[in-house]
Amino acid sequence: LFSSAASSSTLTHGDAASTHGDADGVVDVNPPRGTRDFPPEDMRLRTWLFDQFREVSRLMAFEEVDFPVLESEALFIRKAGEEITQQLYNFEDKGGRRVVLRPEITPSLARLVIKQGKSVSLPLKWFTIGQCWRYERMTRGRRREHYQWNMDIFGVPKVRAEAELLHAIVLLFQRLGITSSDVGIRVSSRKVLQAVLNMYYIPEHLFTEVCVIVDKLGKMTREEIEKELVSTGLSSEAVQGIINVLSLKSLSKLEEVLGSGVEAVADLKKLFSFAEQYGYADWICFDASVVRGLAYYTGIVFEAFDREGKLRAICGGGRYDRLLSTFGSEDIPACGFGFGDAVIVELLKEKGLLPDMSRQIDDIVFPLDEELEGPASSIASSLRKKGRSVDLVEDKRLKWVFKHAERINASRLILVGNSEWERGMVRVKILSTREEFEVKAGELE
Ligand SMILES: CC(=O)Nc1cnc2ccccc2c1
């Protein structure tokens, strides 16, 4: 989905002195820094991907919802030091209101659930595909926007909700031709970290902060993580305890460390047994280092990764049972995931799985001279009413039309010529077989 907006091409107006644009009247044709245009070919790929998101949402019986990209800043002010809240695309509008271009979707979902209040019956299964924004100093040249598919379940406290979400993710990968040898999904629970902090009598209020720090494992060295953890006031033995547990990759080892009967272990065991029943067990693996970087997760968390380790996380999510109370409402148990539009396309390119994105049109209708433009239009109109996509072409030489027909993969070329039209006929050329014949204009379909 990357459009080649690299060159700083500029558009010169006919009248260089045009009023809008820069001093010398030229307009920069590139979109704002960190954003993309979607010219037709890129848009066909994006539409194809979003159609896959929609089809999986339909299979899972989720309902589509939507929200403004613009939200109150208050929805995203959190104190846990997450990267996403330190890069808010925020500003003050002309009414003096603090607003943001949303960096994520979940808070908007929570807002709507609260707003709908008593009028919705639980469980709710909602999905949306929406653009999200961040404002980064351009030092890193990264994108400032991307599109995310979000699937969320409200009102199901047990891990069968997470099992449903994982099924949606696996269904999506399978639809794209990705297998469990290409991609895995690391699964853990924040209750693992909670249990460790309890073992070291660490106060509850440090939990979220520790999660955000630990999420940087893999992006920062172990020493840096330890330093950050110590700076929150943790004892060095607590830090060692955390680091050790986070390196665990087997549930039985985890049970040895945390003891049996710990909720985290029970949840994960149940989830892995559900995975067997769904038939996606070979897609998931326990990995205690998965915590995800969002402050509000409270339970199971997961992220999909490419097994070659070349790319960033493909998608991720988890349980967030306490988010609504941070907005002053009664809590409703919830879990969900976000699936971005960028990494998945890089993966498809890597695996040679990008679909053929060429155009396809049913018919080209072409009047062979000017006074036949009227009849050509009536033919185009009747074909379109029958559901045929018609490209009505005029003011072109026949040679161009044949080239154009190939370029847009037209199935038929319908030529409206004088000699045929006088007899109420048109000439039809089937472009795949080259066969050509005359048809009564009224019998075209
Ligand atoms: C790979 C990519 O484009 N990431 C990306 C791009 N824009 C964002 C904007 C908001 C939040 C996360 C974002 C993440």
Sheet architecture: strand order including 361-367: 390-392, 361-367, 410-416, 425-430, 436-440
Question: Which residue in 314, 334, 44 sits closest to 169, CA to CA?
Answer: 314
314 CA distance to ligand 1 middle (Å): 11
88 CA distance to ligand 1 middle (Å): 12
267 CA distance to ligand 1 middle (Å): 31
Q: What percent of the chain is predicted at pLDDT more than 70? A: 94
Tell me which of 84, 108, 145, 347 to substitute to probe ligand 1's pocket, judged by most ligand atoms within 8 Å of the beta carbon. Answer: 145
Name the band, by pLDDT with cuts 50, 70 and 90, for residue 29.
very high
Ranges of beta strands (E only) in 155-290 are 183-189, 284-286
Q: Which residue has the higher pLDDT, 320 or 224?
A: 320
CA distance 131 to 146: 6
Closest ligand 1 atom to residue 84 Cα is 11
| Residue the block writes with tokens 């245009």 | 37
Closest ligand 1 atom to residue 144 Cα is 7
- Does pLDDT of 62 surpass 80? yes
- Which tokens in the block code for residue 71? 């939200």
341 CA distance to ligand 1 middle (Å): 9
- The torsion angle over the Cα atoms of residues 415, 421, 425 and 427, rounded to 10 degrees, is -20
Backbone phi, psi, residue 419, to 5°: -60, -40
Between 28-42, 163-177, 196-210, the lowest mean confidence (pLDDT) is in 196-210
- pLDDT (tens digit, 9 = 90+) per residue, 78-98? 988 899 999 999 999 999 999
Tell me which of 82, 142, 149 to substitute to probe ligand 1's pocket, judged by most ligand atoms within 8 Å of the beta carbon. Answer: 142
Tell me which of 86, 143, 341 to substitute to probe ligand 1's pocket, judged by most ligand atoms within 8 Å of the beta carbon. Answer: 143
1 CA distance to ligand 1 middle (Å): 13
Give the per-residue pLDDT at 4.
43
Give the per-residue pLDDT at 116.
95
Atom 14, ligand 1: which residue's CA is nearest?
A: 146
Q: From residue 235, how far is each of 152, 191, 194, 198, 201 by CA, in Å?
A: 37, 20, 16, 13, 10
Tell me which of 69, 108, 146, 314 to substitute to probe ligand 1's pocket, judged by most ligand atoms within 8 Å of the beta carbon. Answer: 146
Closest ligand 1 atom to residue 104 Cα is 11
83 CA distance to ligand 1 middle (Å): 11
- Which tokens in the block code for residue 436? 């050509």
Atom 1, ligand 1: which residue's CA is nearest?
A: 342
Average pLDDT, the chain: 93
Q: What is the DSSP string of 82-97?
A: -HHHHT-EEEE-TTS-
Name the band, by pLDDT with cuts 50, 70 and 90, for residue 222.
confident
- pLDDT (tens digit, 9 = 90+) per residue, 337-380? 999 999 999 999 999 999 999 999 999 999 999 999 999 999 99
285 CA distance to ligand 1 middle (Å): 26
Q: From residue 272, how far is each of 61, 303, 332, 405 by CA, in Å?
A: 23, 15, 24, 53
318 CA distance to ligand 1 middle (Å): 18
Q: What is the largest CA-CA distance in the chain?
A: 95
Which residues are near ligand 1 (CB < 6 Å)? 103, 132-134, 143, 145-146, 340, 342-343
Atom 11, ligand 1: which residue's CA is nearest?
A: 103
Give the per-residue pLDDT at 18.
45
Q: What is the DSSP letter of 123?
A: P
CA distance 219 to 176: 28
343 CA distance to ligand 1 middle (Å): 10
Give the per-residue pLDDT at 36.
96
- Does pLDDT of 13 surpass 60? no
CA distance 264 to 197: 13
- Which tokens in the block code for residue 327? 């907005």
Closest ligand 1 atom to residue 342 Cα is 1
- pLDDT (tens digit, 9 = 90+) per residue, 291-344? 898 999 999 999 999 999 999 999 999 999 999 999 999 999 999 999 999 999
311 CA distance to ligand 1 middle (Å): 14
Which residues make Cβ contacts (< 8 Å) with residue 257, sequence separation at least 6?
Answer: 244, 245, 248
Atom 10, ligand 1: which residue's CA is nearest?
A: 133
Q: Which residue has the higher pLDDT, 23 or 7?
A: 23
384 CA distance to ligand 1 middle (Å): 40
Give the per-residue pLDDT at 26.
86
CA distance 123 to 113: 11
Backbone phi, psi, residue 34, to 5°: 80, 5
111-120, 238-247, 408-417, range with greatest mean pLDDT? 408-417
- Does pLDDT of 3 surpass 60? no
Atom 8, ligand 1: which residue's CA is nearest?
A: 145
- Does pLDDT of 119 surpass 70? yes
Give the per-residue pLDDT at 218.
75
Give the per-residue pLDDT at 168.
99
Give the per-residue pLDDT at 81.
85
The 3-state DSSP class for residue 387 equals coil
The 3-state DSSP class for residue 431 equals coil
211 CA distance to ligand 1 middle (Å): 21
Give the per-residue pLDDT at 25.
83
- Which tokens in the block code for residue 263? 């909720």
